[in-house]
Amino acid sequence: MQKTFLVNFFGCVQGIGFRSLVVSEANKRKIFGWVKNSLKRDLVEACFFGEEKKVFELIENLKKNQGMVRVDRTIVEEINNSVGFVDFRVKY
C-alpha cells in the first residue's frame, strides 16, 4: 500500500552530501517525494511516498551513518497527501 511520510533527520546531515544520498537511495527503491535542508543547521526534512515497507527500509538505511553523515534522531509522521509525486528531488 502506498503511503506518505514526513521525516525529520537530525544530526550531522547538512553540507556533506546527505540530500544526494537520500535522492539516490529513494530512486533505488522507486520512492517519490522530496528532501530539503531546514533553516536549522542540524535538520534535513524529507517527504517519502511509496510502499510503506520500502519507505521504512530507506529510513533505516539512511540512519546507518554513512561516510560523514551522522543521524542522531529521526521523527517520522504519516500524513494524508493529495498531491501526486512523479519523481524524487531536492527542494530548495
| Model confidence pLDDT, tens digit, residues 41-85 | 899 999 999 999 999 999 999 999 778 999 999 999 999 987 789
Report, at the CATH architecture level, how domain 2-72 is classified. 2-Layer Sandwich (3.30)
Q: How far apart, in whole angstroms, are the C-alpha atoms of residue 17 and residue 69?
A: 8
**Length of the chain measured in residues:** 92
* CA nearest to 75, candidates 33, 30, 44, 52: 44
pLDDT band for 88, please (50, 70, 90 cuts).
very high
For the chain, which residues make up each domain, given as ranges? 2-72
Q: How far apart, in whole angstroms, are the C-alpha atoms of residue 86 and residue 27?
A: 11
pLDDT band for 1, please (50, 70, 90 cuts).
confident
- pTM equals 0.94
Question: What is the 8-class DSSP label of residue 81?
Answer: -
